[in-house]
Amino acid sequence: MPYQVLTLNEAQNVTLTCYLYEKSPEYPNLDKRPAVLVLPGGGYAMCSDREAEPVALGFAAEGFHAFVLRYTLKSVKPWPAPLEDYENAMEYILAHAEEWGIDKERIAVAGFSAGGHLAACAACIAEHKPRAAIIAYGALTEKTVALCGKDIPLPVDIVDENTCPCFVFGTRTDNVAPIRNTLAFTGKLDECGISFESHVYSYGPHGFGTGTPAYNQPPITRRAARWLKDSAEWLGEVWGERTFEGYSEPKFGRRTTGDLDAYLSLSCTYPHLLKQKGAAEAVLQPVFARIDAVLKPRLTEGVLNVICTWTMHDLLPLLGYSEKELSDLDERLKVIKNAR
């Protein structure tokens, strides 16, 4: 583990602590590992130790390279200094990806409280976006973000269709970053069609970090301590799981449907495709006809209302399309620009 503390900005006391796995001929296919960049919390007034090393080591134990970014505090320089620190850290990591054995396409952030605000901003508007974001009891809505500083972005307002997949959690009884932060943010992810997972645990204090008893004075539900292992498992779903031979297939894409992609595909929903003109119409006409002729007469209005919101991937198997027909159709759609 070539551990090191790098100074990214001496004047602003910005450091990047690196917890890197040694490469080994014993596991050649793991030479490029995924990585997690940890962003501790503390209202941008401090960087909490409890949300730094213990978290990094938690992800290290799950097989990730881990980093902790101690960013510029607001007493030193206001926003967007922390986001600039994030960009610098990502640039540094990407520049050393080969040397350190990091898979550039599999770098996530994990941010806590104010660090969760920073993680959400990185997920939504950074130049070097992470490929997934883990957001713990984040400051994501107006009143809580106001505690972190003035004139800084509201995460709930900047989520869009290009936001990366997110794993978002908090406790119901958090009295510093009330759970509506998490609820409002997941609502926006859903509206924008971004893949996510979220957990609201029944009770526990703000700032519980890894959730292990050793670091937590007040009572907290046992389930809260599961987020780290769960989020690591979720990263395996987003990116494919590491196996001895390499990565398995991802379990889902960044978005749930293709309605916002650049080109059409069977991942688009039926109502979205109905609105397409030109080349798309020609390809899809026989499909629509078959839906009208075969499916609509057979189904009740209620069921039709449901399945008519589905992607073609979900819908067409009901019509008896074969695997081959489906993949042919998909090929033909994938060269047609999506008129959003």
Does 186 sit near a copy of itself (CB under 8 A)? yes
290 binds a copy of itself (CB under 8 A): no
Residue 175 or 324 having the CB closest to a copy of itself: 175
Contact with a copy of itself (CB under 8 A) among 80, 158, 161, 203: 203
- In terms of CB distance, is 26 or 277 closer to a copy of itself? 26
Phi, psi of 256 (to 5 degrees): -80, -30
Question: Where would I find the H helices in 240-322?
Answer: 270-274, 279-290, 296-298, 301-307, 312-315
By CB under 8 A, residue 76 contacts a copy of itself: no
CA–CA–CA angle 94, 96, 100 (5° rounding): 115
Distance between CA 298 and CA 305 in Å, rounded?
13
Query: Bridge partners of 334?
Result: none
Taking the complex as a whole, how short is the minimal distance between the CB of residue 87 and a copy of itself, in angstroms?
25
58 binds a copy of itself (CB under 8 A): yes
What part of residues 232-261 is at the interface with a copy of itself (CB under 8 A)?
233-234, 237, 241-245, 251-252, 256
How many other C-beta atoms are found inside a 10 Å radius of the C-beta of residue 164?
A: 20
Spell out a b/e string for 183-221, using b for 16 or more CB atoms within 10 Å of the CB, else e: bbbbebbeebbbbbbbbebeebbbbbbbbeeeebeeebb
The span of 80-88, 98-106, 199-207, 286-294 binding a copy of itself (CB under 8 A) equals 199-207
Residues in region 301-320 near a copy of itself by CB under 8 A: 302-303, 305-306, 309-311, 314
104, 107, 246, 248, 339 from 28: Cα distances, Å: 17, 20, 9, 16, 45
Show the CA angle centred on residue 18, arms to residues 15 and 21, nearest 5°: 175
- DSSP letter at 255 equals B
Binding of a copy of itself by 142 (CB under 8 A): no
Give min distance, CB of 337 to a copy of itself, in A: 25
Q: How many residues bind a copy of itself (CB under 8 A)?
A: 78
Cα 15 to the center of its chain, rounded Å: 24
Tokens of 244: 């001895």
Nearer to a copy of itself, 11 or 214 (CB): 214
- Asked if 21 touches a copy of itself (CB under 8 A), the answer is yes
Least separation in angstroms between CB 229 and a copy of itself? 9
Which residue, 298 or 337, has its beta carbon nearer to a copy of itself? 298
Can you tell me which residue has the tokens 């700032």?
A: 207
Does residue 49 touch a copy of itself according to CB under 8 A?
yes
Of the candidate residues 199, 290, 332, 334, the single one contacting a copy of itself (CB under 8 A):
199
Q: Which among 83, 100, 96 is positioned nearest to 39, based on CA atoms?
A: 83
Q: Show the DSSP H helices in 4-149 as ranges.
A: 53-61, 81-95, 97-100, 114-125, 142-148
Q: Does residue 326 touch a copy of itself according to CB under 8 A?
A: no
Closest distance of CB 187 from a copy of itself, Å: 5
| Residue range at the interface with a copy of itself (CB under 8 A); choices 95-103, 145-153, 260-268, 290-298 | 145-153
Residue 335 touches a copy of itself, criterion: CB under 8 A: no
Q: Which stretch binds a copy of itself (CB under 8 A): 77-85, 216-224, 281-289, 332-340?
A: 216-224
Q: How far is the CB of 103 from a copy of itself (least distance, A)?
A: 13
Q: Which stretch binds a copy of itself (CB under 8 A): 13-21, 104-112, 275-283, 324-332?
A: 13-21
Q: How far is the CB of 18 from a copy of itself (least distance, A)?
A: 10
DSSP 245: T
* Residues forming a β-bridge with 99: none
